[in-house]
Amino acid sequence: MSVGAGFSYKKFVHFALEQTRHRSTLVPHPSQEKFKFIKPNEDNTVLSALSFSTSKVRLLRSLTIEQKNSAQVLDFAAFSEPEYDLPIFCANAFSSPARSIVVLDLNPLYDTTEHKDYREKYYRNLMPLIHKYSELLPWGGKITSESLRFFSPIVIWTIFEPTEANLQALYSAFMDYYKVWLELMDGAVRETNEEKIDRNREAQHKYLTWRAEKDPGYSLLKKLIGESGAKDLVREFLFEGVSSLGTKSFLDYFPEYAQEDGTVNRKRSMAGKSFGTRPWDVHGRFVGGDASC
Ligand code: BLA
């Protein structure tokens, strides 16, 4: 039985903000003023947007969308200041009455297959988390191949029927993952080497650039708040920093999307979907082979 109607992702946001407040002072982010009262075209829909920063966190923001008897959406993310190489906390859930599509992760700033030191630093000790949830929230099947480089070995990528039990499992996972992220944040030591700070900034910018261009939520946002509203929300709220943290373009980072006339191919994926099963082993080592397999 689906519980879509009475369910709200707001409690996820409340939990996260409260936990964060225990550890640091939340300062409203400038983007909050502009997007707090954003009004959708449809009467049955409520959009809520909140954004903050803390001493170590450049941007902590959440968007929830609640549609009566229809879609429930959570987009919650936290991006550290470039002085820290912290993973990006990422909780995305889109629930229709029939199914929920979920990505919950501590997205790595650096690809964990290429950067083994980064994998060791952050994920080695976290692998038990994925075992805890791999049965309750199993791998969601084939996925946009390009997304994988932004996922960590502990990513929860899943699709389920939004029953009470499944949503409770997701809430439990969300709380665990967020607490772990806060621990990492607390322990993070400020980098002073300018080169490393620049590298962190560029890595975050690359991530923001990917998501601002290819986020699967875009078409729903466009429907709710129109094309220019959706563009603003994506570039100045959800992925704020995409216009200021760096100057490289989407095609500089992802040249495989270039079309002959120099524009960006609108397809989400050039490589196609792949990875029908979880492509990391219990140690967090990538075992997915070539993306095209
Ligand atoms: C589907 N959302 C998906 C899928 C992924 C994500 C992987 C499955 C389709 C695919 O393989 O691309 C999420 N992809 C991510 C995330 C990253 C990524 C988090 O690369 C990070 C690096 N989803 C939202 C929001 C909405 C939303 C805010 O997060 C709506 C406002 C909707 N997601 C949504 C919908 C689908 C989807 C409607 C199914 C339709 C589709 O695939 O386009």
Q: Which ipTM value was assigned to this complex?
A: 0.96
Compute the distance from residue 211 Cα to the ligand 1 centre, in Å. 10
Distances (CA, A) of 276 to 141, 208, 210, 223, 261: 5, 26, 22, 30, 34
Residue 221 near ligand 1, beta carbon < 6 Å: yes
The pLDDT score that the predictor gives to residue 1 is 44
Cα 291–114–123 angle (5° rounding)? 100
Give residue 36's pLDDT.
Answer: 84
Global pTM reads 0.96
Q: Ligand 1 centroid vs 157 CA: distance in angstroms?
A: 10
164 C-alpha to center of ligand 1: Å?
A: 22
Choosing from 101, 107, 177, 204 the residue with most ligand 1 atoms within 8 A of its CB, the one to mutate for a pocket test is: 101
Q: Where are the domains of the chain?
A: 9-193
* Architecture label for domain 9-193: 3-Layer(aba) Sandwich (3.40)
**Span 196-206, pLDDT tens digits:** 999 999 999 99
User: Contact, 4 vs 72, CB < 8 A?
Assistant: yes
CB-ligand 1 contact for 94 (6 Å cutoff)? yes
User: 293: pLDDT confidence band, cut at 50, 70 and 90?
Assistant: very low
92 lines ligand 1 (CB under 6 A): yes
